[in-house]
Amino acid sequence: MADLHLQALRASHEPDLSVRIGALTLRNPVMPASGCFAIEYREALDLNRLGALVIKSVSPATRAGNPTPRVAETPSGMLNSIGIPSKGLDAYLRDVLPPYTRFDTPVVVSVSADTAESFAEACERLSLPEVAAIEANISCPNLEADGMAFAMLPETTYKAVSAIRRRTKHPLWVKLTPNAGQIALIARAAEDAGADAIVMGNTVLGMAIDVHTRRPKLGNVMGGLSGPAIKPLAVRLVHQCHRAVRIPIIGCGGIETADDAVEFMLAGATAVQVGTASFRDPAAMGHIVDGLAAYCARHEIEKLAALTGAVALDAQLTDRWLRFAQQSG
């Protein structure tokens, strides 16, 4: 009977899955995480069904990437240390970007750079009509701060984002790192500097050792942990950012199902990015879109966007938690 009722709801009223991120309206909140998606996914998934297409990060300078092995499986997740290999902007504009622009889905380019000025120059070149938004991955190393990621401190976050903002009028999404401590202050710094949205977040720094060879499982020794293992951390970070800024947040970290996506939205996300799950199942994002429609039908929700920040919290506990978060930075 429950299934029949759900089918009747679907037939009588199609839920509105659209969300707004600044000036952009997406058909639904589901998109790939940068670096976890390639044009070949079109063989397993209709790319016109997604909210946006986020391409793997490009760096202005050519990069060979990190030594192998670059990926290691871990319980409930994976470690990676790819190093963002890049053939530079010319090759990216000529070979990588065009195939993505042939779909009826907004294209988001992701940029990685090692100085604020290099970030700004790259984003200016990528401010093209066929590009819907630019994602600045400021969780990458900053050569002007001894290799510490831009997004580790509010000051370096503000410097990088403001440099980019001066050189482009394109919608600007800023990707933060979960490895930072003062995440609310860093999110506010990105907003104050001109970010249109925050992507929260990236992988968590980790390490694994082969107990038989006694060698690290990654060629670069340490790498980024992703997958279900980091989801509770990522949900907490999204919630903290949602309480700190007024701009939209795109949540990322361990999303495998529609319920995972809903959890991020309840915590404060407007949209979500899917990473590791697509390695296991290239059609995962399509299943999540279908699951979101079914969730809305089951709970009689007309607009999915209404879920953003709708977690039910005890007011007294929330005030206590906020005071603790402010005191601890």
Q: What is the pLDDT of residue 149?
A: 87
- Judge whether 83 is annotated as a binding position: yes
Q: Which of the 8 DSSP states describes residue 141?
A: B
Q: What is the pTM of this model?
A: 0.91
Residue 145 banded pLDDT, cuts 50, 70, 90: low
Sign of CA dihedral 320, 325, 326, 328: positive
- 223: containing domain: 15-327
- How many angstroms separate the Cα of 156 from the Cα of each of 74, 78, 168, 176? 32, 29, 19, 12
Q: Which of 140, 241, 252, 296 is catalytic?
A: 140
Task: Return the minimum-mean-pLDDT range out of 122-126, 166-170, 175-179, 322-326.
Answer: 322-326
Strands 197-200 and 24-26: unpaired
- Check the annotation: does 81 bind a ligand: yes
- Point out the least confidently predicted range of 82-96, 238-252, 292-306, 307-321: 307-321
Rounded Cα distance, 174 and 184, in Å:
14
**What does the alpha-carbon distance between residue 180 and residue 157 come to, in Å, rounded to a whole number?**
11
Q: Omega into 83 within 30° of 0, i.e. cis?
A: no
Percent of the chain with pLDDT over 90: 84
pLDDT at residue 326, as a whole number = 54
**151, pLDDT greater than 60:** yes
Is 82 annotated in some ligand binding site?
A: yes
Other residues' Cβ atoms within 10 Å of the Cβ of residue 122: 26
> What's the pLDDT tens digit per position in 5-20?
455 545 557 899 999 9
Please check whether residue 318 lies inside any domain of the structure.
yes
What are the beta bridge partners of residue 53? Answer: 107
pLDDT at 5: 47
Q: What is the pLDDT of residues 154-189, one digit of tens each?
A: 999 999 999 999 999 999 999 999 999 999 999 999
Scanning the structure block, which residue is given the tokens 């990707």? Answer: 175
Residue 9 belongs to a domain = no
Q: What pairing do the DSSP bridges indicate for beta strands 222-226 and 215-216?
A: unpaired
- The response to whether 86 counts as a known ligand-binding position is no
142 is in an annotated binding site: no
State both tokens at 42.
């079109």
CATH code, 311? 3.20.20.70
Q: At 305, which amino acid appears? A: A
Non-local CB neighbours of 212 within 8 Å, separated by 6+ positions:
none
What pLDDT, on a 0 to 100 scale, did the predictor assign at position 22? 96
Cα 125 from Cα 60, distance rounded (Å) = 10
In a domain, residue 118? The reply is yes
Report the alpha-carbon angle 304-293-103, nearest 5.
Answer: 90
pLDDT in tens, 227-265: 999 999 999 999 999 999 999 999 999 999 999 999 999
- Computed over every residue of the chain, the mean pLDDT equals 92
Look at residue 1 in the predicted model and tell me its pLDDT. 47
pLDDT (average), residues 301-316: 91
Cα–Cα dist 187/119, whole Å: 18
The predicted structure's pLDDT at residue 322? 59
Q: State pLDDT tens for residues 271-282.
A: 999 999 999 999
What number of helices (H) and strands (E) belong to the chain?
Answer: 11, 16
Residue bearing the bigger pLDDT, 267 or 149: 267
From 224, 181, 232, 175, select the one nearest 200 (Cα to Cα): 175
126 torsion bin: left (phi>0), alpha (psi -120 to 50), beta (else) = alpha
Within-domain flag for 95: yes
**For residue 7, is it within any domain?**
no
Direct distance between the N- and C-terminal alpha carbons of the chain, in angstroms, rounded to an integer: 51
The pLDDT of residue 143 is above 90: no
For residue 251, what is the enclosing H or E element? strand 249-252
Residue at 291 is within a domain: yes
203 annotated as belonging to a binding site for a ligand: yes
In 3-state terms the chain splits into helix, strand, coil percentages (rounded to 5) of 40, 20, 40
Q: Could you confirm whether 140 is annotated as catalytic?
A: yes
Domains of the chain: total = 1
In a domain, 85, yes or no: yes
In a domain, 1, yes or no: no
